[in-house]
Amino acid sequence: MANQKVALITGAGQGIGEGIALQLAKDGFAVSLAGRHLDKVQKVADNINADGGKAIAIEADVQYKKQVIDAVAKTVSELGQLDVFVNNAGIAHVAQVCNTEEEDLDRLLDINVKGTFFGIQAAAAQFKKQGTPGKIINASSIAGHEGFELLGAYSATKFAIRGITQAAAKELAQDKITVNAYCPGIVLTPMWDQIDAEMGELHNVAPGESIKAYLDGIALGRGETPADVANLVSFLASEKADYITGQAIMVDGGLVYR
């Protein structure tokens, strides 16, 4: 019997990363959940194991290259191999471009951009060592296709992820490694709670008003769930996506059209 395939997901302690972990476990992957807070990823892993899946939790902060490399090494030593790496961890920041502080810009670039680079580097090195094909799946956004007011720094990082995805896809194709990105819209996770609160403060509007303005623009008429995103990632992680690489695919219920 073939070995159970293994997927590592970063930022898997809540929100979209948790949704992806649950879905990939359902798809039959053994999952390695990496996050900054061990207690949170451990809780998700415990739920997956209690449901009959196979999951481990690893404390790792993706802005530090060594921690990403160590997370891959620990995954392989505990689960045997690596087949899919989901660069999901990311942070948002709400500020006008002209008011964005240098330290906030650094934080976003360190986690969203450098973290994604380190994930690609660590995953590709492991796939090459194994001599197996592999799939790398990165978190971009609708904000990686269109710049939104008050999300300039965030948008910069999500546009960057599309560029990294295309370059890595071209470079790694010869090793049968595909690199793609998912671009969610307005997903109802703690990240949007934070964005809504910070936009509300800047615009002096009540909690819930800022996100409502975005939700009202969604053609399919509802906010997005982590499961909506996880369904796309499930496809990208499967053999059905073997001939897709370098793409940044929208999953936004009809909000941004590219």
Cβ closer to ligand NAD: 141 or 178? 141
Of all helices (H) and strands (E), which one includes residue 56? strand 55-59
80 assigned ligand-binding residue: no
Smallest separation (angstroms) from ligand NAD to the CB of 192: 5
Q: Which of 64, 154, 182, 214 is catalytic?
A: 154
What x-and-dash track marks residues 80-99 binding ligand NAD by CB under 6 A? --------xxxx--------
Tell the residue number behind the tokens 């045997």, with chain if given: 80
**180 Cβ contact list (under 8 Å, min separation 6):** 135, 136, 137, 138, 165, 169, 236, 241, 244, 245, 246, 247, 248, 249
64 in active site: no
| 191, 100, 114, 224: CA torsion to nearest 10 | 20
Assess 187 for contact with ligand NAD (CB under 6 A).
yes
* Nearest-angstrom CA–CA distance, 205 and 42: 37
Give the amino acid at 64: Y
**Per-residue binding letters, 38-77, with ligand NAD (x by CB under 6 A):** --x--------------------xxx--------------
Is residue 186 a known part of a binding site? yes
| Residues in binding site | 14-16, 61-62, 88, 154, 158, 184-189
Catalytic residues, which ones? 154
